[in-house]
Amino acid sequence: MTLKAVERLQEADIILFDELSATPALAHAGAGAELLSVGKRAGKPSPRQDHVSRLLVDYAQNGLKTVRLKSGDCSVFGRLEEEQTVLRQHGIDYEVVPGVSSATAAAAAIGIPLTRRLSARRVQFITGHDVTGRLPDDVNLAAIADPAATTVVFMGKRTFSKLADMLLGAGMTPDTPTCLVESVSLPEQKIVWATLGSMTSRIAAETGDGPVVILLGPLATGNWGDSS
């Protein structure tokens, strides 16, 4: 979190937080702040997005200093625009305070850069599921298989087996370095080093129910070259 984010939490009358942000971050809330969980998790009962947006409008129109706390960075697969649109429609001013994306946090945790001159010229973020929870139908396999790109897969634990099969079918090599980080930056953080060909079995055997990001590409290797 940035210092500005901490300040906004301390000033807030009410904080609407995601389940993944129900961490020590909430310890920065002011003593009188109301905390309201509006989190979404795949496969679990979750509040509808239109309900969350309506709450933001209602609290703001009642003069309350309202914070919408999201995990990571709200602009990366965080449904930020949907909430911005509703606020604009109701003439409500707002401020976006950027956070640290789980992609950059994961790279820092495993000690790699996301880019490197000559060998990893591009970094791309993709989602591992669509609104139905399935792997999107329009995955750009050629872009992911680009040997000069680092790919970070968000929310892809349950669909990674299918994605891996599709990438292998598209010509990506089974020994492509692959790293999974579960519950990144939290005390229970877990790192799994593998390859594209072996990661599916490692996910089944070694991960829990925490959120994960999966990194693919030339830099996603442990010990700078050992991807075992």
Catalytic residues: 18, 40
**Tokens representing 158?**
């349950």
Q: Is 66 exposed, middle or buried (0-12, 13-18, 19+ CB in 10 A)?
A: buried
Closest by Cα among 182, 21, 174, 183 to 5? 21
Buried b (16+ CB within 10 A) or exposed e, 130-152: eeeeebeeebeeeebbbeebbbb
Residues 5/17, Cβ–Cβ less than 8 Å: no
Closest listed residue to residue 153, CA positions, set 196, 111, 121? 196
What is the torsional sign of CA 44, 189, 147, 198?
negative
* 73 Cβ neighbours under 8 A, 6+ residues apart: 98, 99, 100, 101
- What are the tokens at 7? 């300040």
